[in-house]
Amino acid sequence: MSRHLIRPFREADLPAAAGLLAERHKEHRKRHPLLPADYESERLALVEVTALWESERASGAVALEDGELTGYLLGAPKQSAMWGPNIWVEAAGHAIREPEHIRDLYASAAAKWVDDGRIAQYALVPDDPELLDAWFRLAFGSQHAHAIRPAPTTPPPEYPGLTVRRAVRGDIAVLAQLDLVLPQHQALSPVFSAGEMPTMQEALDDWEESIDDPDYATFVAEYDGRVIGSSIGCALDKSSSHSGLARPDNAGFLGFAAVLPEARGHGAGRALGEAVLQWSADTGYTSVVTDWRVTNLLSSRTWPKLGFEQTFHRLHRLVGY
């Protein structure tokens, strides 16, 4: 009968942890083959786990059965105040042979995290039903979705009454207004996001400087001759939220979309998303990635309808409340 042992993560555990991560990623790619194949290699998986281990104030736990490492969990804080007194388990921060045992690993690692005051806890978890269920039974809930789809092979449909075009300098005022629309919407029920809100002047200044940046494709949607929404596409490597195992090769990124509240219902959000998809295909990207707050009722319904399939779930738990 095997003996199940939990102890703190040590540097000597890195090679075995990398092997488990490579196994997990290989299984994950059976569901999402557009994810990067490189991390099926234990050598590259080791690079990811080592980077986490070497992060400032990283800590975690491992599971062993008859002396063999069968699971690990690593977390480290982010310095941004917007996440609260936090600890993050990133995409490469955990792998386990038996999903139920992630609960034992968390029980060990989280004792130190909470003792250190890190009560705002986040975990980026693959869309494995058994693994997600184990995290849910640790009182984590779904907060944010990471998703992918192939670049389109056919042109987008037309939307009656809507015109979608590239943004120009004459659109700067409405683009700045739309920059405020998304955080304003995210602050409302049921999202209740505490993200920072730029001022109108900050948004105007940013657009004055960036409107001609060739690395970003900005689109606007017009209805009855009035701009009512915008979207932005770029290379995925411009996004710090998608890295390592969660960053597909040669991918475009749907990084922003917003529609004026009074103009919703005309299909502008979907049309703007389609514009970024088509731009990604025209640019030569083979896939497109986006992400959204799952409590944002608009984006969580629109983006899956455009073919995006969720790859990772960002889970969240606030301890002690």
Residue 107 corresponds to which tokens in the numbers above? 């029980």
Whether the per-residue pLDDT at 184 is higher than 60: the answer is yes
Q: In the beta sheet, which residues pair with residue 258?
A: 230
H helix or E strand, kind and range, residue 197: none
SS3 164: strand
Residue 145's pLDDT band (cuts 50, 70, 90): very high
Q: Tens of pLDDT along 3-51?
A: 789 999 999 999 999 999 999 999 999 999 999 999 999 999 999 999 9
Q: pLDDT tens digits, residue range 43-93?
A: 999 999 999 999 999 999 999 999 999 999 999 999 988 899 999 999 999
> What is the pTM for the complete model shown?
0.94
3-state secondary structure 91-133: CCCEEECCHHHHHHHHHHHHHHHHHCCCCEEEEEEECCHHHHH
Model confidence at 1, pLDDT cuts 50, 70, 90, reads very low
Structure confidence at residue 2 as a pLDDT band (50, 70, 90): low
Share of the chain above pLDDT 90, in %: 94
pLDDT band with cut points at 50, 70 and 90 for residue 195: confident
Domains of the chain: 4-138 (3.40.630.30), 150-311 (3.40.630.30)
**Residue labelled with tokens 């789809």:** 149
Tell me the one-letter amino acid at 37. Answer: A
pLDDT of residue 196: 81
